[in-house]
Amino acid sequence: MPGGPGDLLRQVLQTGQCVSCGLCLDLCPYLQAAAERVVMIHHCGLEEGNCFRVCPRTPTDWEEMDRRVFGAPRADHVLGHYRQILFARATDPVVAAAGQYGGVVSALIIFALDGGKIRGAVLTAGAPGEMPQPALAVSPDEVLACAGSKYSAAPSLRALHEAARRGVEPVAVVGRPCQVLAVRKLQAVQGIEAHHLAGRKVALVVGLFCFWALEPGFHAFLRAVAGKARILKVDFSPESMLVRTDRGPLCKPVEEVRGFIRPACRECFDPTAEFADVAVGSTEYDEAWNTLVIRSKRGEALVRAALEAGAIEVRPYPPERLPALRAAVRSKKLRALEVQASRGESSYLLIPAGYRQALTGRDQR
């Protein structure tokens, strides 16, 4: 669906739908970042533009994206395409300790760097309590410096343009589900420099489970919670936020944080990065492991090679845990559809009727 900067402004930026993925930044000089927000600083007269084409919150045909990325419509309307779901963790204790849980993302990126599969990775940098920033990591140490969840909406895809300027290729992209969708939309653009950039330079897309990201004010809140203590790591459960500091752990009810959830996240239809090569999240069960969803042939080949090299280890996903994962994802999708319906506006989600019916009907899996 065609559109330009004016449409992006009206449909996304002015309606609170921007997810701050960062991909439109540096595509247009009139779009700039300000505290994890994208703003248009000057009117652009173009009727059509790449900023609109690649935005994850402009109309997206879900069925067409399934065909483009995986070659077929999905059979699973809750979890999307996947080849295998596993528990996984890094075997290197340093890598595992640096990560949020099992350190699988860092382990896979470092393995791909060391093996020459990529020359850099688009990541998100920043210590807990600080405003995260885009980062282009080209060494294992730089990867580890970015490890850990940020629970924020840093415009980290801006680093993809940095990779192009520096001639770093191929690269891996690690991002939230909305950022994964943005990269796939970029790869779908035909006949422009952006397509050339994505098609040649992005060799791997690693998605992160994300049910919501928090507004910039969360960082100040977090610092206030910690006081003079240095924040080491932040984690969430359904009931609470745990802040690990150099003076001991601190706990806050998750209700005190909900006010920081970005409005756009309430309409997100994809909490598990359905268009990634591999998607990684917590297990909600064992803090020493990650949930690893292998989605594409490329992702499967990477995981197999990392296993053979001993960079990661896996174990079967507990069958009794799968219904809980499916229920959480399905509930998030249904809430997103309800929010869209309540707004009475056309959705950025062009979900085919068959997909909707399968999702809203009884889940037999």
Q: Is residue 110 domain-shared with residue 247, that is, in the same domain?
A: no
In a domain, 365, yes or no: no
DSSP string, 48-96: S-HHHHH-TTS-EEHHHHHHHHHSS--S-TTT-S-SEEEEEEESSHHHH
User: pLDDT tens digits, residue range 110-139?
Assistant: 999 999 999 999 999 998 888 999 999 999
Give the tens place of pLDDT for each residue, 276-300: 999 999 998 889 999 999 999 999 9
Q: What are phi and psi of 278, to 5 degrees?
A: -140, 150
Q: pLDDT: is 188 or 356 the higher one?
A: 188
What confidence score (pLDDT) does residue 190 get? 60
Per-residue pLDDT reduced to its tens digit, 230-258: 999 999 988 999 999 999 999 999 999 99
- Structural domains in the chain (count): 2
Specify whether 101 is located in the same domain as 205: yes
Q: Residue 192: which residues within 8 A CB-CB, separation 6 or more?
A: 50
Q: Which amino acid is at 183?
A: V
Is pLDDT at 313 greater than 80 in this prediction? yes
pTM of the entire predicted model: 0.94
Rounded mean pLDDT of 24-44?
86
Host domain of residue 328 = 5-215+261-360
Could you tell me which of 20, 23, 45, 48 has the C-alpha nearest to residue 34?
A: 20
**Is there a contact between 292 and 314 (Cβ–Cβ < 8 Å)?**
yes
The predicted-structure confidence for 324-344, as pLDDT tens digits, reads as follows 999 999 999 998 888 877 766
Decide if 166 is inside a domain. yes
- Which residue has better confidence, 213 or 355? 213
Residues 221 and 203 in one domain: no
Q: What 8-state DSSP symbol labels residue 135?
A: E
Is pLDDT at 347 greater than 70 in this prediction? no
